[in-house]
């Protein structure tokens, strides 16, 4: 089967987050990630953009839902993706997204998470380097959601983390040449786990750490190096408790590479030492 990586490469472009305290959330992303609010035609949504990163902040109320938005190269690629979803019986709708003026579609995974694919406008802005790169979830139905994203949407498995009894605990999925743009951890809850910003080098990780330290935002995981993906990282949280990862040196993977298999242990999640193991 032709994959996204082979036919219509896609990268994570922006997020739509829903908050009970949107003003506090916006102030955090403005101060800490150099995002600036820009006009939005949709009432209740605030679009915030910066250098190679963006979020849409929406007030928590009935009818508002978060989504995770991936960009493809052009209208032809978006049409090919829509055809793929149609052939594989995945319902989707057209959606107006302020950061996808070239058109967009939205669909849901088997557990109700919303994903948008569209053709992006260039995101401008000044600030420290950190490109929005991947998002991760915890799920109670790892096999089901993995089958959906691989067989229906066209993601490719880069690596799996396997427990001693043979159970797959984590799946890392790619939609372009980077090791993962999406991942799922087996857990006791269905929730958003984190999202990640890819920097240029180790010194950028240092500089982001210094920035959060100066603002008295503590690092809760890391610094360290992941086994799958081989990337340097650390994690912090925003005022809503959403987890942000900052990463460097993420592995690139060829389209014909076989999935890797890693043991479920702390050194797989952090080869430098202690790890945050989901439960």
Q: Break the chain into its structural domains and give their ranges.
A: 4-119, 133-269
106 within 8 A of 82, measured Cβ to Cβ: no
Compute the distance between CA of residue 168 and CA of residue 9 in angstroms, rounded to an integer.
26
Give the CATH fold of the 133-269 domain: 2,3-Dihydroxybiphenyl 1,2-Dioxygenase; domain 1 (3.10.180)
Range with the lowest mean pLDDT among 131-135, 211-215, 272-276? 272-276
What is the third-level CATH fold of 4-119? 2,3-Dihydroxybiphenyl 1,2-Dioxygenase; domain 1 (3.10.180)
Half-sphere exposure of residue 42: CA atoms within 13 angstroms, side-chain side: 15
Alpha-helical segments (H) within the chain: 4-7, 22-33, 75-87, 142-147, 202-214, 266-269
> Given pLDDT bands bounded at 50, 70 and 90, which one contains residue 240?
very high
Residue 245 has pLDDT above 90, yes or no: yes
Cβ count within 10 A of residue 93: 9
φ, ψ dihedrals at 47, nearest 5°: -90, 130
Tokens representing residue 65 in the block: 């839902």
Taking only the tens place, the pLDDT of each residue in 20-61 is: 999 999 999 999 999 999 867 666 799 999 999 999 999 998
CA–CA separation, 8 and 122 (whole Å): 18
**Tens digit of each residue's pLDDT (9 = 90 or more) over 153-164:** 999 999 999 999
Rounded average pLDDT over 267-272: 96
Residue 126 pLDDT more than 90?
A: no
The contacts of residue 148 (CB under 8 Å, 6+ apart) are 109, 110
Question: Counting Cβ atoms within 10 Å, is residue 21 exposed (0-12), middle (13-18) or buried (19+)?
Answer: middle
Q: 21-30 — which CB contacts under 8 Å span 24+ positions?
A: 21/239, 21/240, 22/46, 22/57, 22/58, 22/59, 22/60, 24/239, 24/240, 25/57, 25/238, 25/239, 25/240, 26/57, 28/238, 28/239, 29/55, 29/57, 29/238
Q: How confident is the model at residue 1 (pLDDT cuts 50, 70, 90)?
A: low
Q: Which residue has the tokens 């987890």?
A: 243
Mean pLDDT of 202-222: 97
């Amino acid at each position: 089967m032709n994959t996204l990586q082979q036919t219509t490469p896609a990268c994570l472009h922006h997020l739509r987050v829903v908050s009970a305290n949107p003003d506090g959330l916006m102030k955090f992303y403005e101060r800490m990630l150099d995002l600036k609010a820009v006009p939005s035609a949709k009432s209740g949504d605030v679009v915030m953009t910066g250098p190679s990163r963006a979020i849409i902040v929406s007030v928590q109320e009935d009818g508002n839902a978060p989504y995770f938005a991936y960009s493809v190269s052009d209208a032809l690629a978006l049409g090919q993706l829509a055809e793929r979803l149609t052939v594989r019986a995945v319902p989707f709708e057209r959606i107006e997204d302020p950061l996808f003026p070239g058109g967009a579609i939205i669909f849901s995974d088997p557990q109700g998470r919303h994903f948008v694919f569209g053709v992006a406008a260039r995101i401008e802005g000044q600030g420290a380097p950190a490109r929005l790169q991947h998002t991760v979830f915890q799920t109670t139905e790892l096999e089901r959601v993995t089958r959906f994203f691989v067989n229906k949407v066209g993601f490719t498995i880069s690596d799996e983390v396997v427990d001693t009894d043979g159970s797959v605990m984590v799946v890392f999925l790619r939609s372009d040449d980077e090791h993962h743009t999406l991942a799922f951890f087996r857990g006791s809850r269905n929730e958003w786990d984190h999202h990640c910003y890819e920097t240029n080098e180790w010194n950028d990780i240092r500089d982001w750490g210094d920035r959060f330290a100066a603002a008295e935002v503590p690092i809760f995981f890391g610094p360290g190096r992941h086994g799958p993906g081989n990337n340097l990282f650390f994690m912090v949280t925003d005022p809503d408790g959403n987890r942000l990862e900052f990463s460097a040196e993420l592995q690139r993977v060829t389209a014909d590479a076989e999935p890797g298999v890693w043991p479920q242990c702390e050194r797989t999640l952090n080869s430098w030492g202690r790890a945050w193991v989901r439960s």
